[in-house]
Structure 1
Amino acid sequence: MCKGEKGKEVKEKGSKGVMGSKYLFSLSLYPLFTLLLVAFFSLPLSAQKKDKMDRAQREFAAGDYAGAIRTLQSARGLTESDAEAGLLLAVCQFHANDLITAEQGLLTITEQEKDGYPLAWFYLGRVYHAQHRFVRAATEYKRYLRSLSGDGPERKTVVRLLRNVDNGIRAGFVNDEMVAENMGATVNTENDEFGPIPSPTGSGRLYFSLLRPDISGNRGQTDIVATMASDLGWSPPSPVNPLLNTSGQENLLDISPDGQRLYYYRGNDATDGRFLIDTFSGAGNNQLVTIQPRAPISPAMGDVTPFFGAADAVYFSSRRPGGYGGLDLYRMVRLPGGRFGPPQNLGPNVNGPYDEVCPFVAKDGRTVYFSSNDPAISVGGFDVVRTYRVAGTENRFTVPENAGMPLNSAGDDTHFRLASDTFTGFLASDRKEGYGSRDIYVVYYVEPREEMQ
């Protein structure tokens, strides 16, 4: 149950504060700046532009960026003659993934208005950051930082972003041994697609979760679907089983190594629900046997994004008391008779004052991939990182390292899984080149991944 489960908050944890976001991963990374913009555009307006600006502000605050763009552009000459309207338009274009147009508008404002609109520098930094133009992003973030006084939350946010772009500048993050591609319009839409899991049997089938009204029939709910690879590309996603998806929320979590058990979350919303297992009987799609996992984990205890596929333990992320802050990774050892040992925090090498989520254990049993928003190792938002369990130990892990670009981006990169073919991986990402919200991406490696052999 990673980020598609909208409506909860996640900590942006450097200051132990809550920045406010979608459940587990934010679609709008820094809502603090949304609030600043709403306040900024609440300045007195002339009667001529008041109606249009008021409507655009409401649409912007509600996240309807396309609507705000239409409203602003419908008022002849408004954005050209009024810098406030021009800035609001450029920010909406950024959030609508139109980075080129947003950059043009922001540059015009900074050239014409000089120091009068410092938020334009911040959003120019966001544009360049999203395009991985890290040096230019750092320049704009620093210009905005110099405009701030005191040590408030805006300054702390920009400092974290500067740490992200510094990581991006380092050559070690760029990896020419892989290629990352959006899976295209057949699979992805302007809505939310997340949680990809390749079939463990190597059948060319990919399972994932999505929020799409034409499939789920319930706006705001998520369903589990599958797509198939062929010579013609990926097929349109279709429900896994007519009995599996309901009018509630179903989010895919895992598939057993033999392909016989499907682990998922079902609930009325992101937290009011249960982890479940479905096994398909010999009668095909006409029967399901639904049980609960034996592992003592539960959303009610703050447990999320469990990985059941490791032979020796269940890994999961949790806010349980006694951790290092926010969401930490835990490991629960399998015991004889289907029992489990107590949950063990993976320790300070792995966990810290930021969020660690979406664990995946490779076939070797000791390579653990997960996503972290720690600015010390991330190029922006959540990045996929990896750690290794120290040989001969049960619960000692190495300091995580970034899995590299282009697997990672300036957006939120989560739900990473390697396929059994050893050459392919999949992840969910909200990078600005996508179709909107999160999309499913495929990663192709030049050499087989040793941890999957």
Structure 2
Amino acid sequence: MKKLILFTAVVLASSMTLYAQKTDQEIIEFAQTASTKQLLKKNTDLLMDGRYRMSIVVADKLIESSPGNSNFLYRKGYALSQQSINYEEAINLLEKVKDNTTLKYNASSDKETQAPIDALYHLASCYHHQGDIEEAKKYYQLYIDKAPKKAALRGFSELALMQCKKTEVATDKSSSVQIRNIGESINTEAPEYSPAVSLDGSALYFTSRRLWEDSSNAEYIDPRTDTYLEDIYVSYKDFDGAWETPIRLENSQPNQNEATISVSSDERKLYTYNDLTGNGDIYYSDFQNGRFNDLQKFDMEGVNTDSWEPHISVTPDGNTIYFVSDRKEGMGGRDIYRITKLPDGSWSEPYNLGAPINSAYDEDAPFIAVDNKTLYFASNNENSIGGFDIFVSVCDDMGVWSAPINMGTPINSTGDDLYYTTTSDGRFAYITSFRADGKGEKDIYEIEDNYFGRKNSALLKGLITVVGGESLPEDVNITVKCLNCGETNIRTVYPRTSNNTYMSNLDKCREYEMVYAYNDGETVFHTDKIKTKCDDEYEEIYKPVLLRLEDWTIIPALDYELAGTITDTDSGEPLEGVLIEILDKDGNVVEKMMTDKDGNYSSDILKGKEYGDNPELSLRVSKNGYVTYENPLNTNDLGNESTVLKNIGLNKLDLGKDIGNMLAVNTIYFDLDKWNIRDSEKPKLDKIVKVMNENPTLEIELGAHTDCRASKAYNQSLSNKRAKSSAEYIKSRISKPARVKYKGYGETKLVNNCECEGKQESSCSEEQHQLNRRTEFKITKL
């Protein structure tokens, strides 16, 4: 069956004709003066090479010379249909030639004015991708009716017609499944595809053909796609669940293709596709010394051959490998194969999964879930609704695969949908697709799934936190051994270097021993035991530990207590009767208490929290006549001591005191020669607003000061305007605005000897001048 290369590199990077802008310019210049015969040959060559964008440039010149020529219109329409970016324009052109096709099409003749019968197939395909199923069916059938029995596209057309009919009965899971474009933080106008998500969903590895930040890959263009070569990127989720700006991996080369396939559960091994050898093979890169190493060819016997091997998926325990190959002994096109680790540590021969997984069509992009028995894969078989669709199958205890289920809409579309990868619980998944809401030619989509979520499986999640924030040595590992599995069942996992977390899938109703070691497993520093539940639900077991590296000791879990003393900042005396309020992340008060006669307080609200947790709580401390203190408790507060000590000094509100000093609001910055409040400075003034609203009788004078530079008159005028602007901002946000007076002092109240006399320049440093450019908020009435 014809090899349809969809989402991977087409040609060898080492032999690829990489060209700069001048090559395009040469074709453009050629098209201006070439004869029709020369243009026709050039257009044919470009189409045969897959250089569709430049073929359109030549086709436009042909159409210009003969606007109604169906041969010329077809050539442009065909090129557009192959680019997957403008089906609408392709349809417009192919519609013009559909009634003027011939079975005797002569592609090399400049006298040919008709289009080939293939135009009907490509018109149907465009309608199919657009989701216009009725029009697609009409033209697929018309092509079948008119084309010779042995026509190259007959089989594809018959398959596509079956797929169109499947759309009528496709399962719609939109009530339990949501799919959305992952957004511009990852997707660009360039193609992005082949995602591989970490089990916990915090890291996403993917392939992109974008321009590098420094444009150093600008000269390396794939002539078949007119895009930059493939590179591997990774993006991490921030604390709010948003994807951060992607980082290109260090082993990406500007003049070679590197494409993601999958990532190991500990993110220590990245599997990639590369076409430097064979007909395209599987490669890998190990994470060592803080980076991914250069790509190495995957050398397991029986996997890479002279055939095409574009994909691989390794089970989280590392004992089973699924890969794709189009080797001639397969069932048809690309098939999914499996190899397993034998009891003696060797690997089995590759085994074709056979029916019902493989078919006479193409199967690709397998992904095995953490339960080691749920297989997601892509197929363009007769049960697809268009191109490749995502299917799911489950292997029973006897090793028999269930009939694959098309995951339905909205996961699948009438275009190609591939590279399904999911988190450990199956709730979030990612695929590659080309859709109307896309940013570029291919995009990555996120799926939130309440339908296909994991059941009857367990996952061990661990965290090794190092005392003092030191880096965890890369050779630390955890061996997980099943004690009641009936046979040797041992796996070794490594913590992720980015955050020291690790994961391993577990069987239900089993007992395991965990052995923590370093020095390549030779030195054991901790052991533990865990059990999984004997039910059919998804289960997660979380095992955090605190490691002291100086003696390789695991510190027991701590029972945290929040405590402290509240004092007067000026006198240092403890304050009795201070109100302590603990607020949740939404600002609701969840606990309140008063300090005793010694200014002390304590709370057990952190009980049950573990080292490294984010409490998502805030502390608010208030007393009449003092500035209220409010600050969040964060992950760093849950350290090596059981008592989270929060000693706090409160600033007393007294006449003549500067509230700005208390709140570290000493300078309000303005643009040069301006006095309107910058957005960046508003949070500073908001602190003053808060104090004024908490103390409704408080009155202040806002004074704006400058340094000595510039004339006295200028400084006086500018400081007046800035003082007024700042005061008006505060007044508009408090009760009884008359409580705020303001005055510009210019350079009349310097706090040091940085004076400027006439034309004489001050010898003061910029830092010394800065002390004079200040804003004061002095209390004038309590």
TM-score by length of 1: 0.75
**Counterpart pick for 2:212 among 200, 211, 214:** 214
Q: Distance in 1 between matches of 2:7 and 2:51?
A: 21
Q: How does 1:377-416 map to 2 (within 5 A)?
A: 377-390=383-396, 392-393=397-398, 395-416=399-420
User: In the alignment, is residue 225 of structure 1 matched against residue 230 of structure 2?
Assistant: no
Q: Distance in 2 between matches of 1:70 and 1:252?
A: 33
Q: Residue by residue, what CA displacement relative to the aligned partner does 1:40-93 show, whole Å, maximum 9, x if unpaired? A: xxxxxxx98556555544444433333343444467855643333333333333
Q: Distance in 2 between matches of 1:292 and 1:55?
A: 38
Look up the equivalent residue of 1:403 and give its one-letter code.
Answer: M
Look up the equivalent residue of 2:129 and give its one-letter code.
Answer: A
Look up the equivalent residue of 2:305 and give its one-letter code.
Answer: A
Q: Distance in 2 between matches of 1:179 and 1:398?
A: 25
**CA shift in 2, pair 1:340/1:61, >3 Å:** closer
**CA shift in 2, pair 1:275/1:53, >3 Å:** closer
Q: Which entry has the higher C-alpha Rg, 1 or 2?
A: 2
Q: How does 1:15-414 map to 2 (within 5 A)?
A: 19-22=2-5, 53-73=40-60, 78=65, 80-96=67-83, 97-110=85-98, 118-172=117-171, 175-184=174-183, 186-189=185-188, 191-203=190-202, 205-212=203-210, 214=212, 217=217, 218-220=220-222, 221-229=229-237, 234-240=243-249, 242-243=250-251, 248-265=256-273, 268-269=276-277, 271=279, 275-281=283-289, 284-285=290-291, 296-300=301-305, 302=307, 303-311=309-317, 312-319=319-326, 323-336=330-343, 338-374=345-381, 376-390=382-396, 392-393=397-398, 395-414=399-418
Check conservation: 1:73, 1:79, Cα contact below 8 A: no
Q: SS at the partner of 2:421?
A: strand
Check conservation: 1:175, 1:404, Cα contact below 8 A: no
Give the structure 2 partner of residue 422 of structure 1.
Answer: 426
Q: Distance in 1 between matches of 2:79 and 2:283?
A: 37
**CA shift in 2, pair 1:176/1:102, >3 Å:** farther
Q: Residue by residue, what CA displacement relative to the aligned partner does 1:109-153 show, whole Å, maximum 9, x if unpaired? A: 447x59975544333211210012222210121122222233433
Q: Distance in 2 between matches of 1:131 and 1:206?
A: 29
Q: Distance in 1 between matches of 2:78 and 2:167?
A: 23
TM-score by length of 2: 0.46
Q: SS at the partner of 1:81?
A: coil
Q: SS at the partner of 2:426?
A: coil
Check conservation: 1:331, 1:346, Cα contact below 8 A: yes
Cα distance, 1:234 vs. partner? 4.1
Q: Which 4+ stretches in 1 moved above 6 angstroms?
A: 23-27, 289-294
Give the structure 2 partner of residue 444 of structure 1.
Answer: 448
Cα distance, 1:197 vs. partner? 0.7
Look up the equivalent residue of 1:300 and give its one-letter code.
Answer: T
- RMSD between superposed Cα atoms in Å: 3.8
**CA shift in 2, pair 1:201/1:280, >3 Å:** farther
Structure having greater relative contact order (Cα 8 Å, sep ≥ 6): 1
Look up the equivalent residue of 2:447 and give its one-letter code.
Answer: V
Check conservation: 1:360, 1:417, Cα contact below 8 A: yes
Moved more, 302-311 or 139-148: 302-311
Look up the equivalent residue of 1:22 and give its one-letter code.
Answer: I
Q: How many residues align?
A: 408
Q: Residue by residue, what CA displacement relative to the aligned partner does 1:305-359 show, whole Å, maximum 9, x if unpaired? A: 2211343522222345754344332232334564334433323222232232221
**5+ residue gaps in structure 1?**
1-11, 13-18, 28-46
**CA shift in 2, pair 1:105/1:295, >3 Å:** closer
**CA shift in 2, pair 1:436/1:92, >3 Å:** farther
